[in-house]
Copies of this chain bind each other. A is one copy, B any other.
Amino acid sequence: MNDMNGLSHKIYLELTPPGPGDSMSDQQRIAAALRAEWGEVKFPLPVLRCLYPLCTETDWHITVTLGWNGVQWVITRLEQGDTSASHYGLCADLGSTTLVMEMVDCRTGQVVGQASAYNHQIAFGEDILSRIFYSTGNAEKLAEIQKATTDTFCEVMAALEEQTGIPAEQCAAMTVAGNSAMIHFLIGMDAFCIFSSPYAVHADQPGFLWGRDLGIPLDGFVYCYPGKANYLGGDIISGMIATELPEHEELSVFLDIGTNGELVVGNREFLICGAGAAGPALEGGVVRTGMRAVKGAVSAITLSDGIFHLETIGNGTPKGICGSGIVDMIAELFLNGWLDVKGKFRPEASDQIRWLGEEYGVEYAPGLFFCQYDIDEFLKTKAAAYTMVEYVLTMAGISMDEIQRFYVAGAFGTHVNKESAVTIGLYPDIDRSRLISAGNSSLKGARRLLLDIDCLKKLPGILENMTYVQFGDVGDFLHIMVGATALPHTDIQRYPSVIKKLKDRGILL
């Protein structure tokens, strides 16, 4: 069975041992056997040192692991006998909160294990900015954060090893997708540049680095996806590879809603991208009873006849509300006429809308309130996300109708109810089949690259085609945003399906 066309290969060789009249060196003996298919392979120092007695002990039945270093194949490991059937790689989505990793069988492409862990960087600050302030200008503290990052890798690799029984150290290669700050920290570079004008990062194309040099126990290369700009990092470029958006003729939107909000609009002809602070609110960050999508979080809501029907993660007692729950909540409140188009409670609509001293609110579960402030804050974020899309589309002279694929990446996109997202005007009112949850496209793109070296060839073109918009520099951004704070939008004609629903319910006449 052959390997996939990935960043690593394992090749079993049965070579003729040196003998009378054949005194070719061990090195050339191996190089010659590989040359036709792999070109001039490189022998790093540790491999030179293990040629003997490894080759002779096994009578020259050896398995060579090759890793691509960006310009040539490098022998990253030599093993005795035929170990080519055991060929695994790792791919990682390095998020500021969580590191998610998969172990992949590089012969079949099958994921054999998945594990994740909280990013140990959290010890130096919950949010990225705190971590940056902690470490900037201080080499020792930066080294601490670098080590916290690789410690996280070690933890997840250990978990994968336990899960699969396959030593993670023996994986032949690793791909990592992460935002600019995460990659700066992984490499050990000061990340202050990312959030400070003129937003020129230190390195955006670290490429292939030895795992051991980074502190990741892997006899092979770690490849970090390149980034486009300070706020548009390798996780989004990885998403481009995962969705193949830059190869399609159809116009697409790619919206990644995580800690930050990142956007790419385009097709094979052009790509416009940008990023904005859209994330925390959508993840429940600004809602006072908001929480992450963990056990006890209300994740889905319907409201009928004045009664909230809740779904909680793990079917537990409701402890708070996560992103998808919030979207449902606002959509349902609106469709029941409890909120007006400005997102303000209409106390006359239900006696469940209670004055709580400073604002109106509803008690959606015992002791858990969802209030005007929560809605106002959330709608600002919703408006920011929508406006990013609208701004870029306008810039490109494209109407929302022309969008063939509207990808929403990240956990939010996976869990949110599409109808609700359209209802509140977060998603555009287009054919629902065009609204695509891209899942963890950062991880998917990392896996894809690990298994298909040709993805590397696509990257320069993607980066070059991308036009990056600093929304902070856009003067009329806030102006446009005002229209998008309404439910679903000040220009309600953009949302015919919402009009229909409201009419069906008699809310709109």
Contacts and interface: CB of A to CB of B under 8 A. Distances in A.
Interface residues of A, number: 49
A198 B23 contact: yes
Interface string A176-217: 000000000001111001000111111111110110011000
Contacts of A209: 44-45
Interface stretch (A46-54, A279-287, A419-427): A46-54
A95 B184 CA distance: 45
Contacts of A199: 18, 23
A84 interface: no
Contact of A26 (B42, B188, B200): B200
Contact of A23 (B43, B52, B189, B229): B229
Contact of A49 (B23, B49, B187, B230): B187
Interface in A67-81: 70-72
A303 B43 CA distance: 57
A206 B26 contact: no
B198 A51 contact: no
A25 interface: yes
B214 A25 contact: no
B25 A188 contact: no
A491 interface: no
| Interface-central residue, A24, A25, A53, A214, by most chain B CB under 10 Å | A25
Interface in A227-244: 229-230
A165 interface: no
A257 B197 CA distance: 66
A29 to B, nearest CB: 8
Interface in A142-191: 187-190
A140 interface: no
Given A27-B205, A205-B27, A49 B189 contact: yes
A42 to B, nearest CB: 7
Contact of A25 (B22, B31, B43, B200): B200
Interface in A1-49: 18-29, 31, 42-45, 48-49
Q: How many copies altogether?
A: 2
A198 B45 contact: no
Contacts of A213: 45
A53 B229 contact: no
A236 to B, nearest CB: 16
B49 A18 contact: no
B193 A19 contact: no
A190 B51 CA distance: 9
A200 B18 contact: yes
Contacts of A53: 137, 190
Contact of A27 (B26, B31, B51, B202): B202
Contacts of A193: 52
Given A48-B189, A49-B189, A43 B206 contact: yes
A171 B301 CA distance: 69
Contact of A198 (B18, B207, B230): B18
A142 B53 CA distance: 13
A406 to B, nearest CB: 28
A225 to B, nearest CB: 14
Given A71-B71, A204-B27, A198 B22 contact: yes
26 contacts: A18-B198, A18-B199, A18-B200, A19-B198, A20-B198, A21-B198, A22-B200, A23-B198, A23-B199, A23-B201, A23-B230, A24-B200, A25-B202, A26-B203, A27-B205, A42-B70, A43-B203, A45-B188, A45-B209, A48-B188, A48-B203, A49-B187, A51-B202, A52-B202, A53-B137, A53-B190
Given A23-B198, A23-B470, A52-B189, 4 more contacts: A48-B187, A49-B187, A49-B188, A51-B202
**Closest CB pairs A-B (n = 10):** A18-B200, A27-B203, A25-B204, A23-B200, A23-B199, A18-B198, A25-B201, A26-B202, A51-B202, A48-B203
